Every structure is written in structure tokens, then in C-alpha cells.
Structure 1
């Protein structure tokens, strides 16, 4: 290797891959704007996670049900990458925002924004938060086509492509593990089985998926909170915490408004309650109205 090559700074993906090569769990708190990114950077974390739910709720006042566009997420990624100042950013890229050609463009735009990694999921469009009910999936074949488009589109081979399956909810843990194995064989760098519902499922994923693993720790979600040491012992490499800053922001914000005389809204606990604060019921009603109309006319 020449001196000039040795002096070349690592790309964002390269920095994340260096962390993945270490024998420890990467904890990535969720960020959604410049302030949250600065807080993560100034408290010593080695990575951060651009939460689609966080950007939807805090950035746009919308529930996480597939309402954001690729360009809106990409612009937020640029802001966060700048604020993080070199800390690798793992980004939520939903379903890739369309067909394989759209996925290719998504990867290129996220890469230009400076992310270290992005994850794509096998939900049908419009997607839903992984911890909401009634998710719909594409076939494994459809998703592997998108995954191949993503792998071929990156110009930096160090950009980490993460394949996420949401099959646990609608099809069960065995189908989710089977899909994860198929996506690993198709070339995904990291596998993400969304929403295991107990510690036995967390252990089963670790035992049966032969690839680096990411796990999503959602406060009040379907997956039980699991100690970092236990996750590392099982072999998980990344733990994302999308609500680590957003949940306290909402709770303390409501408390502060209550002290000023505000009336507290009624909302369910967990992700669904959070999304209800930003119009989940109203947006869902629109989606169901036209979904039902389409079925009636079929």
C-alpha cells in the first residue's frame, strides 16, 4: 500500500466496518435532527441510527406508516451526518421507495449524503413501523431483487447494506429466520430480523442466522429490553435504540406543557400511542378507505 493510500481517510462505511470487526456490541442511539445528533456525538457513542420513525414524528409531525419520501429522508441524513462529525450513521431506508431501480437511486443518494450503512425491508409499500400490527410483505424473490440492486448501486464497497425482514409478525419466527438466511446468501452485509417477541426468539435468531446481526430495541415495543452484555454474548453486532431520545423528548414535553396548564392527550403506551399523537388514526382511515375501495372494485 502506498503512503498516499495509507493517509487516505476511511469512508463512513469503512469506519463502521472497523467497528464491526471489533468483538463488542455497537450501540447506536436514534437521531432525527441536528440537535439529537450533536447530543449523541458529545456523549461518546461510536455510531448513531437515523430513525425513520423519529424523522417522521419529530421532523414532519407524521406517523411512521410510509408517508415520507426518499428525498426528505436523504436531506435529513445530510443534516445528521454533518452534526455527527465523523461518527458513522446507520440509516433507515424503508422499502427503498419503489422498485429495484428506485432502490438503486436511493442507495446512491444516501451514499452521497454520507451515511455509513442503510437498511432495506421486505414490507410492501406503504410500509408500517415494525412494531405496529397488520404489516404486509413482498415475496423473498421480490426483496432479493431489490437487495441485488442496492448491492450493485453502491460506489463505495464499504457502504454497509443491511437486509431487514418484517416476517415475524405476519408469518412467524421460523419464516423470518428463513428469509434472513436467504438475504444473507444474496449478499447482505448485516441481517435485521424485526420485532422478535421474547428472549427465546432473540436467542433463536442468533443461533440460526449465520451473519452479522442487528437488533432493534424499541421502548414499549414488541421486543423485550435485553442487556447489551447478553446481546453481545449471543453474537449481535449492532443494537439500535430509535426512541432513546425521542421518547423522553415527548414525555418531558407533555409534562412541561401540563405544568403550563395544558390538557394531557389520551394515548396508548408504546409506538402506537406515539404515532397517535401525530395523526395515526386519521392517516390510517385515509389508507383504509382507499384500500377497501380497491378491494370492492376488484
Structure 2
């Protein structure tokens, strides 16, 4: 409750308000830990996306092959969502991590963690990244059961979270089969439609038309099976949400690899310089709230940082 006695909107309410704006495309940079989230927030983004692949890689050091548990994902999402409780976070929830009861628990846990939106897919529990081949799907009835369980859990929790239904059926069942699943999921109460692995701009435009008025989400994975739409192109297609899950993990890989190679071969890291400048610990800590944390301590009567650092 705000100090003036008025209720502050939840991040789920903020996300819904953005979805209700017909002229808005919600652009979500992919983050996977507190540091990448802080960097994105410092740039003024209005929504974040927690990538499941990035979480699996950063938390477990493993490829995105369905090895992350609900606890792994929820804990990471909770940390990211609460860095700035005013900025909505959309988080990957994979398959919901089990049957209907487990899907319900996942939704409840994500809501308690402060997540504004989450997506559930129709792969088997031993899933894989949506831009890899060989994906296996559950039946339509099992998939709709997942969505139904999510809607029921949301209602029982007396809170809110934007439920995004994702299908990976395009690869094996074709467009018509994928569309059937999306419409069935929306019929059960999903708020947003997410066709994974869309293959062409024409197919994307058809999907947006076929799902109207339900808002649709585009997943931009450079090097994957989908077109590398820019923000403007995604807006022109008619998407309402565009997530960029590889944004952080893609740029970190060559930068860190280059720095390690320089250390091993030249004995000095030079590749991180920008215009001849290196970043001091204090400058890096500033991104992660150093100043605000110190000010909080001083206002509370603490003396540890009263003279600065």
C-alpha cells in the first residue's frame, strides 16, 4: 500500500494495461540473472523477460533440455522480479513441471514470486529449446488440462498473472494443428497466444489475424528457425509482445570468451575496453544499486556507509 493511501498497481495489472493499448508493442529484453536484469532496468525498459534457456545455462551450467526444475525457475524469477517490483517480468514456465496439480502449484508460486506473466507450453516434461529439432508434444487434451489448471490456480490465489499459452506444434503438426491448439488454450482462459518457431513473415501475419482479438507474442531467437524481426517489423506484423531471450546470453558468450583468451595468451585483458576505458568496481556496483543501498542505510540510521565508500 502506498503511503498516500492509494493502491499501487501490481505488475500484472501494468502488463494487462500495456496489452490493452492497441498501439503498444511490449518489447522484453531477455535476462537471466540479477546483473543482466539490473543493466536492462538501468536503460529504462518497461518489461523484462526471464529466459528459461538462459536460466538453465547460468544457474545449472547446462543446456536447455528440460533439466531445470520449478524451484530453479521460480527462485530465479523471484529474484529478478523483486529487483524492481514496479517493472513487469514475464517468465518462462516451460511445461508447468508436471501434471495438473503441479501446474497449479507452479502458477501459484510464480504469482507469489511477483511474476507478472508466464508462458506454458505443450511439449512433454522432458522438453527442449523451441528452436531445436525433435520436439515431442503432449495430446491436445493434456495441453488444455495444463491451461485449465493454470486458470483455476490463478482464480484460487485471488491474485493475477498474465497466462501465455505457447505451442511447439508447428514443427510436427503444421500450421493448422498448431492453430487448433492455440485456440483451444485461449478457450480455456489463456490471455496471450505464442506460436513458437514461426517460419515466415506471411505465416506470422496469418497467425495474428487468425487469433484476433487475442494478443500474440513473438519469440526472436537469432539463428533459430524464425525470422529475425526487428521491433518495427514485429509491430507491423501485429504482435503485441516481442521477447528477445538470447539478448544477454548471445552477447556475453563472445565477450567473456575473448577476455579469457586474452588473459591466457597475452597475460592481460584488453577486449573489454571501450574507448580505452575499463570499468571500476564502483561503476559496476552502481548498476546494481550501490548508491540507493547506501542512502537507505543512512536514512535508517546506519553508520556503515555514512562517509561513503
Fold equivalence (TM over 0.5): yes
Match of 1:244 among 244, 247, 250: 247
Q: Does 1:234 align with 2:271?
A: no
Equivalent position of 1:89 in the other structure? 89
Equivalent position of 1:212 in the other structure? 215
Question: Following the alignment from structure 1 to structure 2, what is the Cα–Cα distance between the partners of residues 228 and 96?
Answer: 29
Equivalent position of 1:66 in the other structure? 66
List gaps (5 residues or longer) in structure 2.
Answer: 266-309
Q: Does 1:160 align with 2:162?
A: yes
The more displaced of 227-236 and 34-43 is 227-236
Equivalent position of 2:8 in the other structure? 9
Counting only pairs closer than 5 Å after superposition, residues 165-180 of structure 1 correspond to structure 2 as 165-180=167-182
Native 8 Å contact 1:163 1:183 kept in 2: yes
SS in 2 for 1:233: helix
Match of 1:221 among 216, 224, 228: 224
Native 8 Å contact 2:10 2:86 kept in 1: no
SS in 2 for 1:84: coil
Equivalent position of 1:191 in the other structure? 193
Per-residue CA distance 1:45-90 (angstroms, 9 max, x = gap): 1100010000011221011010011011111111111223421000
SS in 1 for 2:264: coil
Counting only pairs closer than 5 Å after superposition, residues 23-62 of structure 1 correspond to structure 2 as 23-62=23-62
Equivalent position of 1:18 in the other structure? 17
Native 8 Å contact 1:78 1:113 kept in 2: yes
List gaps (5 residues or longer) in structure 1.
Answer: 263-298
* Structure with more contact order per residue of length (Cα contacts < 8 Å, sep ≥ 6): 1
Native 8 Å contact 2:111 2:159 kept in 1: no
Aligned length, in residue pairs:
260
Q: Does 1:255 align with 2:258?
A: yes
CA gap of 1:99–1:230, structure 2 versus 1, over 3 A, is same
Shift of the alpha carbon at 1:228?
Answer: 1.8
Native 8 Å contact 2:170 2:197 kept in 1: yes
Native 8 Å contact 1:32 1:50 kept in 2: yes
Shift of the alpha carbon at 1:235?
Answer: 1.9
Per-residue CA distance 1:114-172 (angstroms, 9 max, x = gap): 00011100001101100000000011111111101100101245310110000011211
Equivalent position of 1:119 in the other structure? 119
Native 8 Å contact 1:173 1:196 kept in 2: no
Equivalent position of 1:104 in the other structure? 104
Stretches of 4+ aligned residues off by more than 6 angstroms: none
Native 8 Å contact 2:30 2:50 kept in 1: yes
Question: Following the alignment from structure 1 to structure 2, what is the Cα–Cα distance between the partners of residues 158 and 20?
Answer: 14
